[in-house]
Structure 1
């Protein structure tokens, strides 16, 4: 366990310089299919890298200012560059949620931190609410002595009224799931300015983790990317 604590502390310090944080991890079980690690053999462990609140934003902006204005998916590119450099430093292989074929990042996150999805599909965190994300992961050839997460309280179970489900102006969220095309059409349309400029109204209606809520410009960036604008 001491070895992992030392690794976690060093990794956390390195990631903090970019506004990123270590989001837990786990060892793959014997016989479990896993992506390849740095040696091209099946990885034995994974550590998730992500953010809480808007901490990476100023670091990303400074990087983005030096890039071509027509750069596609700049946040993904920044994340890949930063986490890739960290992976090289620590003898790991970096992977991204946008890699094809897609890797099961949400399942990994639930396993690493014991979280459950909110009605919006975003994992609910007991401290950060819906205002967190996973930017990548580090795959290792060796097992890591990491402690299994405690099962945190799922705040959605105690939430009365579920304001996230009742605030969307076009009812894109329901017990039947997320109406993607309905949401997309609204965000792109003439009545979608509040969502485009200040972020998803349903997400902002959640009463938990509000001190970590993304700044309006960060939410606008993500909505623009979602809508392809």
Structure 2
């Protein structure tokens, strides 16, 4: 059953939504969020395809994390119009204590939004890997819980394995992804993997929804910064 005013979310680019009953979620997923007694549901919002980035660009925000800021504003606006009496609390991308994290990948699996890929980004048969989690809130609502949505897993029937051959660091050649090989390649001067994953971009699934190069570079820049911070930590 669609959410109330779902068109507002879809048009804004938050075109994936899922309603979970807290009573149906594993305790280990709920623990970091510490739900209050009145909180009954978790609403997960994601984007798929290019629309969200187009909306963010059109707003021209100057925030350090413009996608996060835009997503929070959009969900707040939707709540005010669609569920004006609801009590809601963000748990992603903000709202939790330092060191606490929402298990977004696990929630996405429960929602049926993605399956594992060789390059360790979730994938489905329609959108490919071109989607992401953008917001999660706890609410006191009684919306109908969403049915699991499974758009199919393309990897088991893939014969080309284009992602494996496109990986410049040979991180996918031996089965499970070699994270050290991936990170070493990204840290090299002038690496073609620094601001975009050639393996991910080589995957033909969902190619029509592939992010614009500016969005790919934007997202990759943050992950590269994290890798550099980790690599610069003293060992021992």
Distance 1:175 1:152, change over 3 A: same
- Check the 8 A contact 1:170/1:186 in 2, yes or no: yes
Residue 51 of structure 2 corresponds to which residue in structure 1? 55
Residue 15 of structure 1 corresponds to which residue in structure 2? 9
Residue 193 of structure 2 corresponds to which residue in structure 1? 195
Residue 183 of structure 2 corresponds to which residue in structure 1? 184
- Check the 8 A contact 1:26/1:148 in 2, yes or no: no
- Give deviations 1:172-228, integer Å, cap 9, x for gaps: 33523341x443343343231x3345x210001111000000111111111222212
Instruction: Name stretches of at least 5 consecutive residues in structure 2 with no aligned partner.
Output: 229-236
Distance 1:115 1:183, change over 3 A: closer
Matched, 1:26 2:20: yes
* Equivalences for residues 1-229 of structure 1 within 5 A: 4-5=1-2, 8-10=3-5, 12-29=6-23, 32-33=26-27, 34=30, 35-36=33-34, 40-41=36-37, 43-63=39-59, 65-67=60-62, 71-87=63-79, 89=81, 90=83, 91=86, 92-96=88-92, 100-113=99-112, 115-149=114-148, 151-173=150-172, 174-179=174-179, 181-192=180-191, 194-196=192-194, 199-228=196-225
Aligned residues: 214
Q: CA deviation at 1:23?
A: 2.8
Distance 1:146 1:74, change over 3 A: same
Worse-matched range after superposition: 150-159 or 26-35: 26-35
- Check the 8 A contact 2:42/2:139 in 1, yes or no: yes
Give distance in 2, aligned partners of 1:157 and 1:215.
27
